[in-house]
Amino acid sequence: MACLSLSQLQKFQEDGFLVLEGFFSADECVAMQQRIGEIVAKMDVPVHCRTEFSTQGEEQLRAQEISWSLQRNPSTKLATALARSLGLQMPMVVQSMYIFKQPRFGGEVSPHQDASFLYTEPLGRVLGLWIAVEDATLENGCLWFIPGSHTSGVSRRMVRAPAGSALGTCFLGSEPAWDNSLFVPTPVQRGALVLIHGEVVHKSEQNLSNRSRQAYTFHLMEASGTIWSPENWLQPTAELPFPPLYT
């Protein structure tokens, strides 16, 4: 697992995202698919959790962290050297998700910033790692980014609702009407790793193809000198603390 080069670091700092093709082999992707199959086979998923991923407000508030969110440690092979090359001193894994994006079913994910849901003080302490378990194409719903949009702060936040509210969370602020012409498509091949800055604006379209677009994604927080907002919907507990990436 090679460290990032200076040019790659500069590209990530400028754009707020970085594509690393061939980060995982085809065999490793197959192993991930097999493992998620084993996990799903043993799961008794409540009906209210059986929904597709969305960042639309009402859908999201009803679902409360959706799309088969799996609160598990990623494999130890996942990017320790990479995290160190980014200067992360105490990275903690705050969440992970396996996204199936089924053929002609996987819904769109509207423009958003991850830090809206995983907020820290100061900002700039959340990093997404998005693994293409299958090819992600224009037809099956690849990621789209607005390069450089990670430098303007966070436009809205999802926070825990006051006690007694019907819903568990609510939004503060509002999402701007992002100019669609600013988005750049990012199709990648199976095995690619996409680094995603917590404040970069990104989205994905609905999967209208006959092929799925499976991906495994998890988020790291730099814990050194960072306050994890007590208003975030996701909070560590004694039973399920945020595990460290470095062991």
Model confidence at 81, pLDDT cuts 50, 70, 90, reads confident
Find, among 203, 194, 222, the residue nearest to 118 by Cα: 222
CA–chain centroid gap for 167, Å, is: 23
Rounded distance, CA 198 to CA 196, Å? 6
Find, among 114, 99, 102, 42, the residue nearest to 67 by Cα: 99
Let me know how long the chain is: 247
Q: What is the pTM of this model?
A: 0.87
Instruction: Encode pLDDT of 89-137 as tens digits.
Output: 999 999 999 999 999 888 899 999 999 999 999 999 999 999 999 999 9
CA–chain centroid gap for 61, Å, is: 18
Which residue in the block uniquely carries the two structure tokens 């494999």? 75
Find, among 214, 220, 225, 218, the residue nearest to 246 by Cα: 220
| Four-residue CA torsion sign, 150, 235, 169, 107 | positive
Instruction: Encode pLDDT of 152-188 as tens digits.
Output: 999 899 999 988 788 889 999 988 899 999 999 999 9
Structure tokens at 182: 């600013």
Q: Answer yes or no: is pLDDT of 63 > 60.
A: no
Report, in angstroms and rounded to the nearest whole number, the Rg of the chain calculated over CA atoms: 17
Instruction: Encode pLDDT of 189-226 as tens digits.
Output: 999 999 999 999 999 999 999 999 999 999 999 999 99
